[in-house]
Structure 1
C-alpha cells in the first residue's frame, strides 16, 4: 500500500536563507529564537522551561539546525538515536507567502511576480473599491490599510457592527483580507463578498494571490475574536501539481486538511476536511492515517503556528504548539503502515521574535520517515520542489519539471 502524509508546520523556519537580504530578513530564525526564548525563561506563559520536543529531535530536527548553524539550539541536546531522514530546503519562488511555499512543494514554484498593495494607508485602488461597493450595495468600507488581524478588529470592529461596513486590509503579502462579524454581517454574506472580490480583481488582471474572508465574533474591543470559519479565495495553480498527477495518472486520492484546499483553489483535491485548531487537526490527521486507501496523499496545514502565534509574535504560544504537536507525534508514527512515507516540513518562516508581523525568508526543515528506511542525512535541497519529485517517484508518476527526488 502506497500512501504519503505531508504535514506542513506553517511558518516553522529553521534560520534565514541565503537570499534573506532581498527580503530584509537577515537574522530571522523561527526555530532557534523560540528555543532561545524558552532557554532564558522568556516563553513561560502556559508552559515552562526549555523547548521540549524530543520526538521531532529524534527525527533529526536538531541535526538540521546543527548543519545550518554549527550547533544545536539552546536547551536542545543531540538525540541518542535518529529514526528519520533529515535535511533542509531553500525556496526558489519569488515570494515568501503561503501560496508560493505550498505550490513550490507540490512542484510548481512561483517564478513570476505577484501583485501587491504597497501603500500603508489607502491601500486599495479606488476604482476597485467603487466597483465592489456598487456591485454589493455596501454602505462603504472600513480600514483600507496595512494591519494585523487583531489590530483591525480593535480599531474598526465596533464601527463595523454599527455601520455594517466590511473591514478591508492587507499586509506585505499579496492578499486582500475582509473582516466581518458572523452575526451582524453574516458568514454567507462575507463569503459571497469575497468570492465577488476575487472575480473583480481577476477582471482587472491584478495577480493577487488570495482574497481572505476573516469572520469574527464579539461585541466590543475586549472580546472580539476571529473564528475558525476563515476561507481563502485563491488564484488557481499556474501549472500541473503533483496532487493532480496522482489523481489523473493513478486514480489516486488527495485528502486536504485545514486550509490546503483553499490554497489550491480546490484543484487537485478529492476531499477537503474542515478542522479548527491544532489539536483538531492532529486528531483528524491520525484518523486519516488509519482509514486512508492505497494511492492516497493526505496533505495537512497546521495554520495556528503562523496565524495565531507567528504573526502575533506569541513565542510562548508557538512553543506550546510545537510541544503539543510533538507529544502527539508518536501516535502519528505508530499509525503508519510499513510502506507509508511521512514528510514534515514548512512553507516559510514567521519568526515571532523578529521585527514586524510578516513572514520571514528562511530555510525549511524536511523530516522524512518510513519504517523500512534507514535514517540518513538528506542534505541541503535547493528547492521545496524536491518534495514533489519525491512524491512523484514514490507513486511512480511522471516526473515534475522542478526538483530532485530525495529517494
Structure 2
C-alpha cells in the first residue's frame, strides 16, 4: 500500500484556541487569501471538501466530497514548523521550543563568535529579506555573518556566498547547533546564504536547516524499522534530523516537489511518501504576498486533478497544513 502525505506549508483554515498566545487572533490563511484576490476557484480541493471546513470565496463545495475532510488542531505547545511536523509524525510536545523575541543572550553570541573566530552582526528578530538589505553592506565589508531570529524558535545565520563559502556557513550552523542545547535549544539552526549587491540582495536556494532530533521514535522511525519505504521530499530531512527515512530528496520549490511526487506515483513502493510544499509559507506567507500564494495554490490545484485520477485503488492521499 502507498500513502502520499502532502503538506501545504502554512495553509491554515482558522485560528486555534491558543492563537492569542502568539498574536494570531483572527488568522485564517485559506479564507483571507481567497478574499484578498477577489475569490479563487480551487476546483480539485473543492471536490475533496475543503469548502466544507472553511469559507473559501470562489470555490464551490461538492457533496458528497471525494474524501474524508475535517479540521485538526495541534495538541503540542508551540506553532512552529518543527512542532507541527513532529506532531503529524506522532510526537506531542508538552513544552514549547524557546524563542528569543529580544535577540539571543550575550553569552550565546559570545560563545558562537569565539567558536567561529569572528564577530557577528544583527542579533535581533527580523525578516530575512529585510535584514540582508539592512546589514548586507556591512557584512560585505567585514565578513561577519548576520545572525537573527523570528517569532519561531530559530537561530538563523545569513552570509553572502562570495564572502563566506556555503560549506563554511554550514559548518558554522553545525557549531551553533552544538551550542544551542537545553534551555537554549532552539528547534532549528538555519543557514541562509544570499547573493547579489547592495540594494539587490537575494537569498539563494541553498538554505539548510539543522534541527534538534526528535525526542523519541516518530512514525517515520517506526515504519522504516518495520521494513516499509519512507520517502521524503522537500525540507523534511532537516526537520527530522535525517531520521527514519529510506530515501530523502531535497526540493528547492513546489514545482520540483510536484514533479517528484508525479515520478514516485508511477513507481512501485510500499509505505509512505511524505512531501512538504514549502513555497506557500517561505515565498509568500512570510512575505504577506496574497497574489503570490493564490497563484501557487491554483498551480497546485491544477496539478492535483490528474494526480488523483491516476491513483491506484489502494492508494491513500492525505493533504494537510502543518
TM-score, normalized by length of structure 1? 0.77
User: Residue by residue, what CA displacement relative to the aligned partner does 1:97-133 show, whole Å, maximum 9, x if unpaired?
Assistant: 00000000111111113112121xxx11222222221
What is the aligned partner in structure 1 of residue 98 from structure 2?
Answer: 115
**Maintained 8 Å contact 1:281/1:302:** yes
Structure 1 Cα separation of the partners of residues 149 and 18 of structure 2: 24
Q: Does 1:254 align with 2:216?
A: no
TM-superposed CA distance for 1:226, in Å, is: 0.9
Give the C-alpha shift of residue 177 in structure 1.
0.4
2:10 matched to 1:56?
Answer: no
The structure showing larger relative contact order (alpha-carbon pairs under 8 Å, at least 6 residues apart) is 1
SS at match of 2:216: coil
**CA deviation profile, 1:41-92 (whole Å, cap 9, x unmatched):** xxxxxxxxx3121011101111111xxxxxx422222236621211110111
Q: Which residue of 1 aligns with 2:305?
A: 330
1:293 aligns with 2:269: yes
Please give the per-residue CA displacement for 1:7-48, whole angstroms capped at 9, x wherever unaligned. 000000001123322332221110111111112xxxxxxxxx
SS at match of 2:180: helix
Q: Name the CA shift for 1:19/1:200 in 2 (closer, same or farther; >3 Å).
A: closer
The yes-or-no answer on 1:215 pairing with 2:204 is no
**TM norm structure 2:** 0.96
Which of these residues, 162, 178, 182, is aligned with residue 161 of structure 2? 182
Q: For the Cα contact (< 8 Å) 1:13–1:29, is it kept in 2? A: yes
1:214-254 CA-to-partner distances (Å, cap 9, x unmatched) read 11111222x211111111100000121111111112x1121
Q: Which segments of 5 or more consecutive residues in structure 2 lack a partner in the other structure?
A: none
- Kindly indicate whether the alpha-carbon contact (under 8 Å) linking 2:77 and 2:95 is maintained by their aligned counterparts in 1: yes
Match of residue 243 from structure 1: 220
5 Å-filtered alignment, 1:5-404, equals: 5-39=4-38, 50-65=39-54, 72-79=55-62, 82-119=65-102, 123-138=103-118, 140-202=119-181, 205-221=183-199, 223-249=200-226, 251-294=227-270, 296-347=271-322
Residue by residue, what CA displacement relative to the aligned partner does 1:133-161 show, whole Å, maximum 9, x if unpaired? 122112x1111111011111110112212
Whether the aligned pair in 2 keeps the contact of 1:5 and 1:297 (CA below 8 Å) is yes
Q: What does residue 42 of structure 1 align with?
A: none
The question of whether the paired residues in 1 share the 8 Å contact of 2:5 and 2:275 is answered with: yes
SS of corresponding position for 1:143: strand
Distance 1:264 1:281 in 2: 18
For the Cα contact (< 8 Å) 1:51–1:76, is it kept in 2? yes
* 1:175 positional shift: 0.7
Within 1, Cα distance between the matches of 2:195 and 2:257?
22
Matches of 1:292 and 1:196, distance apart in 2: 40
Do the aligned partners of 1:167 and 1:180 also contact (CA within 8 Å) in 2?
A: yes
Q: Cα 1:335–1:159, aligned 2, differ >3 Å: closer, same or farther? A: farther
CA RMSD of aligned residues (A): 1.4
The number of aligned residues is: 322
Quote the offset at 1:96 in angstroms. 0.5
Structure 1, unmatched stretches of 5+, are 40-49, 66-71, 348-407
Q: Is the 8 A contact 2:50 2:61 kept in 1?
A: no
